[in-house]
Chain A
Amino acid sequence: MQPHDFGYFEEGHLAGGRELRLWRRLIGFAGPYWPWVLVAVLLSFAVTGATLAIPYLVRLAVDHYIVNRTLPIADRLGGLLQMAALFAVVAFGGFGANFFQVKVLERTGQSIMQQVRQRLFRHLLRLDLAFFQDQPTGKLVTRVTNDIQNLYEMFTSVIVTVFNDALTFVGILAMLFWLNWRLALLMLCLLPLLLLHTFWFSRLARDAFRAIRTGLARINAFLQEALSGVTVLQLFGREADARAKFAAVNEEYLADTLRQIRIFGVFMPAVDLLNSLGIAGVIWFGGHEIMAGRMTIGVLVAFLSYLRLFFQPLRELSQKSSVIQSALASGERIFELLDRESAMPLAARPKTVVSVRGAISFAGVTFGYDPAKPVLREISFEVAPGETVALVGATGAGKSTVINLLERFHDPQVGAVRLDGIDLREFEPTALREQIGLIMQEVFVVPGTLRDNILLGREVEAARLAEVVEEAQLGGLVAQLPGGLDARIGEGGVGLAAGQRQLLAFARVLARDPCILVLDEATANIDSETEIMVDRAIAATMAGRTCIVIAHRLSTVRRAHRIVVLDHGRIVEQGTHQELLAQQGFYAHLHALQFNNGGGAQQAKGE
């Protein structure tokens, strides 16, 4: 069935001219592996040779020994045994060659694909964030998994079998002509019919399969929707209606599959019919040749065997052409991504060493993900080293965008963001990001142990790591996990609760010890015990660093030295909590609405 495709169902449509260029690039992937490809090809010669030799050996046995009445019986039997020995050697040799061919092909194909996959994945990771915002995740995932898989199918199963088949085909033809060219010519008359059949059939089959895949995708989409919303359907009493709709989709799929069965019902037996025409030709014309003394019975037997081999590949040809089509389409999509350059330019001589003071300034910054729609307008503010600034504002006010610019995920359209007075554009992006600890609401977990997840590839002394664990309030978790820091977490290991993941994020930042901390406070509901731990971890992580915090809780806002209030992309107020309250402005209004409405203030203060 359909591999999991994240709902991105794509069919290949290729313009003719580009196909050649595409082939060249695809074959380029195999370049470094040419010795192995060569071995595979040589092995396929051996396999083909063995396949073709066997009917020939049978023919020799029949003509020279079995029906040759001129030799004494003992010689005939002796010769027969010799032929048999040769036969056995060829048969086992063919088997061995076939086995190694499968192995070599698999190793080569998989290595090539692993290399392409790695290249694509690493390339994608280097692209700028604007790219990722445009692309649905599922689509990118499909590129590095299913599309690569399609290429692989073509590399191994198709290219080599097509090669094998072509070789067999030519070999058989040569053999037939050598055995008896007149009969071979007659057989050749079947060829146009065969080609016509193949061509016509592969087109019909491709369309039929396409319709089936689309139909299945439709069934999947319907099921996904209906089963996710099954409660709603039940509460609204829509079961009968949903059943009727599903029946329609299902029926359509049935019609498509039945059409495919009819097409195959006509074309598959037609190959056998052609085969029988060949047999009839061999009996009639071959018999005629034997009577005229121009051919032996052994040749007739060999002809019949070769005929069977001749028709074998044709049965699978249509399937192969559809594999090639989808692989080419996948290849094109992969190249499209590989050709994509990062839209974020690097400085000519990027600064890799960053000072550790941590003074941040936004100077007249205007930025929009779509330049026509600015999200930030003329933002200017400064954060002194060691200072904590809280960003406050509604969803969409531009708080996260400030962070995105500071991490240099995007560059401002107007103005500049500076670190210690240097424009961010002059830094090497990774060197810059090393200086910033980012804690967001989501926390990723990499496959590995808790230790791997805290260190993320860094080297930290055991003593320091122990401190980090304590400061991030992870001590309890470590004590409780079997194996402590060496316990596997995430997939195949221990699952972490939302609160524990938050603490992990703090531990990561502490282990990296950056001079700047950017904190997007979690809004996830966590129990009060965890909340206390998170509070302590926040305090430990903020200590001694320049901090920019998107605050959701009053306690965090109060901890800030200064509050910057954003509204619709502009800074409307800034100052300390007390100053802003005294101003009786925007912030005071927010604060009143949130905390002073109807007598809740006492409790809030008593928190």
Chain B
Amino acid sequence: MRGHHAGPAGSFASAPGQLRGRALQALRLLRPLLRRYRWRLTVGLAALIGVDFLQLLVPRFIKRAVDSLSAGTATNPLLARLAGAVVALALVVAGCRFVWRTLILGFSRLVERDIREWLFGHLLTLDRLFFGRHPVGATMALATNDLAAVQLAAGMGVVAAVDAVVMTIAAFCFMLYIHPLLALLTLTPMPFLALTTKVLSARVHQRFHKVQEQFSRMTEFARSTFAFIPLYKAFTQEEAQGARFGKLGEEYVRDNLRLATVQGILFPASGLVGNLSLLIVVVYGGRLTVTGAISTGDFVAFLSYLLMLTWPMMALGWVFNLFQRGVIALERINEVLAARPALPEPVATGPASLAGAIILRNLTFTYPGQGQPALREVSVEFGQGITGIVGRTGAGKSTLCQLIARLYPVADGMLLMGGRDANTLPVAALRERIAYVPQEVTVFSDTIAANIALGNPAASQEAIERVARTAAIHEEILAMPQGYQTRVGEKGVRLSGGQRQRLALARALLLDRPVLIIDDGLAAVDLETEQHIVLALREYLAGRTCLIVSHRLAPLQYADRILVFDNGRLVAAGTHAELLAQNRFYATIYAFQRMEEATGEAGHAAA
């Protein structure tokens, strides 16, 4: 079915080169799992092989029945015995099948669970550089689509492979036993089947991939149309857009038809090849029977073995593809598991005192893959009190905050904390001193109280309410249906941008850490409230260090000091009044401030 495809996920495409080595490395991932589940696997495989051999006995019973019937020596008790044997055998086979299904398919699911857990645990240790390269969607696909391919290979793939090999060998042995030449002749069409399947499956895979791509293109087209529907209507594009969608749809139909051509050959091909083998048996086996070289019973048993062979032969091509996809998926997963955070992880050298100023010394930082540095030779010291940071978008404000929070690596000697180079200090210990409010707030599907208490789940209700008040969101929370127990996130109440940011602020305040960084984290809060918050923070922050990035200057007049950034450089520093009087750049930004917010806030003030 269409949905069951594990396509290459965005940035995790594997290059065909150096495939061998990477594949081996990826397969090494499975070693501990094989060890952990070795008994389950051993018993499961034994049951599977048992089923194959037991099944091969059925044609023997049929042969005896047919032979005795054609020789006229059959008796009712003999027939009843043979029929009884078939049923008894079937019961044992059913039991064994249950065993291998539970054990081997269960194994594949256990492997899936283990790798998924492993992968997630590892992802949690990776840094922004990694997540910058690998979008969330693609990473998620690893934990679902790619893992599904691995699971399929480890479960049905293993079963089909073992089954095919055992059945082929065994059935072929029986056939050889009956008549070697007939056996060899019968098998002549089989390699063609395996080959056709292998070649065409690759083609199917490739064309299927195109179909999927076109499907996503259609999906994205529909999404953007619906998302911007007022614009399309304003430009009277309804008809034209319908025609464009129609064109995409036609291409989709065409891609599907191309796929169907291959599938239309592939699937009936196995039937055809099976029939050709049957034809050989009928012609040559029939001749042998007629001339008395083999018995009629042998002839019938031969037919039964042949039927048994068709499926494993078909399966071989399929299994090959399954394993191939599984290994590629495993390689992609392995690539992530092998990724290491770029931040140095020095061994903890005892409890270092990290108190004291955060010092930047000639800090220059360039994001990987970008030519221009985001920060250039910034030297500044952050002590106690509030420091405001302003500048245009792209001036480097946010980069500065993220470097201090150790989200990206810095070169040695550029960032000092507690008098020591940050690169010599464990990241976890540094982060324990910093509370961070990002611009893009993540709200987790849980209650408001739990979201605020994210960093300190044991916090008392009083403590939670206290920080909510400081963040000026307490009243709004009380107004919600279940107050602090209101569920938010995906399936709960949707918070406005301003509410989310204040929630994030409350969350950070509850951590009660010596350094607070608000990385443009109040942009969606209205001006008046932001001013209240900054004033409230002044009290809360006694003895703490606080950095506030804001694109609005008015609230920053309460900051102890304001740093002005432009194009990655620190261009001015001083109080609000000083900067207004002395710095033309600052005053210009001030003048450029958007009317929108100012008018809005004044409106509320006047109301």
* B438 partner residues in chain A, CB cutoff 8 A: 231-232
Interface stretch of the complex, out of A10-18, A217-225, A374-382: A217-225
Query: Could you give, for residues 219-261 of chain B, a 1 whenever the CB lies within 8 Å of some chain A CB and a 0 otherwise?
Result: 1111111111111111111111110111011101100110111
B8 at the interface (CB under 8 A from A): no
Binary B-proximity of A253-285 (CB < 8 A = 1, otherwise 0): 110011001101110111011011101110110
CA distance A429 to B215 in the complex (A): 32
A-chain residues with CB within 8 Å of residue B219 when the two chains form the complex: 4, 141, 145
B227, A95: Cβ atoms closer than 8 Å: no
Complex Cα gap A258–B111 (Å): 12
Instruction: Say whether A121 faces chain B, with CB atoms less than 8 Å apart.
Output: yes
Given contacts A273-B94, A554-B595, contact A525 B392 (CB under 8 A): yes
Q: A232-B442, A593-B602 are in contact. Are A297 and B124 (CB under 8 A)?
A: no
Tell me if B490 and A254 are in contact (CB < 8 A).
no
| A456 near B253: Cβ-Cβ < 8 Å | no
The distance from the CB of B405 to the nearest CB of chain A, in whole angstroms, is 6
Chain B residues touching A, majority SS: helix
Q: In the assembled complex, which residues on chain A have CB atoms less than 8 Å from the CB atom of B457?
A: 241
Q: Which of A19-27, A187-195, A361-369, A389-397 is near enough to bind chain B? A: A389-397
Q: Is A94 an interface residue (CB 8 A)?
A: yes
Does A236 lie within 8 Å of B511, measured CB to CB? yes
Say if the beta carbon of B218 comes within 8 Å of chain A. Answer: yes
Q: Kindly count the residue-residue contacts between A and B in the assembled complex, taking CB atoms under 8 Å apart.
A: 450
Tell whether, in the assembled complex, residue B136 and residue A228 are in contact, meaning their CB atoms are under 8 Å apart. Answer: yes
B18 at the interface (CB under 8 A from A): no
Is B370 located at the chain interface by the 8 A CB criterion? no
Chain A hits for B587, CB < 8 A? 599-600, 602-603
**Which of A54, A229, A277, A523 is B442 in contact with, Cβ under 8 Å?**
A229
A205 to B127, CA, bound (A): 42
A-B contact pairs, 14 of them (CB 8 A): A80-B287, A92-B272, A94-B272, A98-B271, A132-B229, A237-B432, A241-B457, A254-B113, A269-B98, A404-B230, A433-B235, A590-B603, A602-B587, A603-B587
In whole angstroms, what is the CA distance A221 to B454 when docked?
Answer: 18
B residues 69-84 touching A (CB-CB < 8 Å)? 69-70, 74, 76, 79-80, 82-84
Q: Which of B202-210, B277-285, B464-472 contacts A (4 or more CB under 8 A)?
A: B277-285
A533 within 8 A of B: no
Q: Are B290 and A246 in contact (CB-based, < 8 A)? A: no
> Which chain B residues (577-597) contact chain A, with CB distance < 8 Å?
577, 580-581, 584, 587-588, 590-596
Nearest-neighbor residue (CB-CB) of A565 within chain B: B599
A491/B220 in contact, CB under 8 A: yes
Q: A54-B278, A590-B602, A594-B593 are in contact. Are A251 and B113 (CB under 8 A)?
A: yes
Q: Given contacts A7-B490, A145-B218, A395-B596, are A266 and B124 in contact (CB under 8 A)?
A: no
Verify if B475 is at the interface (C-beta below 8 Å from A): no
Contacts A442-B231, A589-B606: A236 and B242 contacting too (C-beta < 8 A)?
no
Note all chain B residues with C-beta closer than 8 A to A607. Answer: 588, 591-592
B24 within 8 A of A: no
Is B125's CB under 8 angstroms from A287's CB?
no
Contacting pair A235 B436 (CB below 8 A): yes
* Given A1-B144, A118-B245, A283-B86, CB of A235 within 8 Å of CB of B405: yes
The answer to whether B231 touches A438 (Cβ under 8 A) is: yes
Task: Determine whether the beta carbon of B580 is less than 8 Å from that of A600.
Answer: yes
Give Cα A12 to B593, complex, Å: 52
Q: Is B101 an interface residue (CB 8 A)?
A: yes
Within 8 Å by CB of B490, from A84, A225, A512, A595, lies A225
Question: What would 10 more interface pairs be, CB under 8 Å, given A62-B299, A99-B265?
Answer: A61-B282, A137-B226, A145-B215, A221-B445, A230-B124, A301-B300, A436-B234, A444-B232, A567-B607, A603-B587
> For A230, what are the chain B residues with a Cβ–Cβ distance below 8 Å?
123-124, 126, 131
Q: Is the CB of A392 within 8 A of B599?
A: yes
Say whether B124 contacts A233, CB under 8 Å.
yes
Q: Is A243 interfacial (CB-CB < 8 Å)?
A: yes
Residues on B with beta carbons closer than 8 Å to the beta carbon of A56: none
Query: Is B572 part of the contact surface with A, judged by Cβ < 8 Å?
Result: no
A206 part of interface (Cβ distance < 8 Å)? no
Pick from A141, A225, A444: contact of B222, CB under 8 Å = A141
**A373 within 8 Å of B (CB atoms):** no
Is there contact, CB below 8 Å, between B242 and A118?
A: yes
**CB of B481 closer than 8 Å to a CB of A:** no
Interface positions, chain A 102-142, Cβ under 8 Å from B, are 102-103, 105-107, 110-111, 113-114, 117-118, 121-122, 124-126, 129, 132, 137-138, 140-141
- For A95, list chain B residues within 8 Å (CB): 268-269, 271-272
CA distance A305 to B306 in the complex (A): 12
**Given contacts A235-B434, A291-B69, is CB(A444)–CB(B6) below 8 Å?**
no
A239 is an interface residue with CB less than 8 A from chain B: yes
Cβ B240 vs Cβ A456 within 8 A:
yes
The interface stretch among B58-66, B176-184, B538-546 is B58-66
A279, B58: Cβ atoms closer than 8 Å: yes
Q: A373-432: which residues lie under 8 A (CB-CB) from chain B?
A: 392-397, 404, 407, 409, 429-430
Pairwise interchain contact B283-A228, C-beta atoms closer than 8 A: no
**How many Å lie between the Cα of A607 and that of B290 in the bound state?**
107
State the CA gap A143–B2 with chains docked (Å).
17
Say which residue of B82, B91, B256, B296 sits within 8 Å of A106 (CB atoms): B256
B304 touches A304 (CB 8 A): yes
> How many Å from the CB of A451 to the closest CB on chain B?
14
Q: Which residue of chain B has its CB nearest to the CB of A51?
A: B271
Residues in A with CB closer than 8 Å to B554 are 597
Docked-complex contact B600 and A394, CB < 8 angstroms: yes
Q: Which chain A positions have C-beta within 8 A of B300?
A: 297, 301
Measured CB to CB, the closest approach of chain A to B563, in angstroms, equals 18
B224: chain A residues at CB < 8 Å are 444
On chain A, the residues within 8 Å of B367 by CB distance are none
Chain A residues lying within 8 Å of B290, measured Cβ to Cβ, are 65-66, 73, 76-77, 80
B561 within 8 A of A: no
* Contact present for B225 and A98 (CB under 8 Å): no
B237 contact set on A, CB distance < 8 A: 446, 456-457
Q: Considering the chains assembled together, what is the distance between the CA atoms of A318 and B140 in angstroms?
A: 30
A535 to B576, CA, bound (A): 30
The distance from the CB of A302 to the nearest CB of chain B, in whole angstroms, is: 11
CB neighbours (8 Å) of A94 from chain B are 268, 271-272, 275
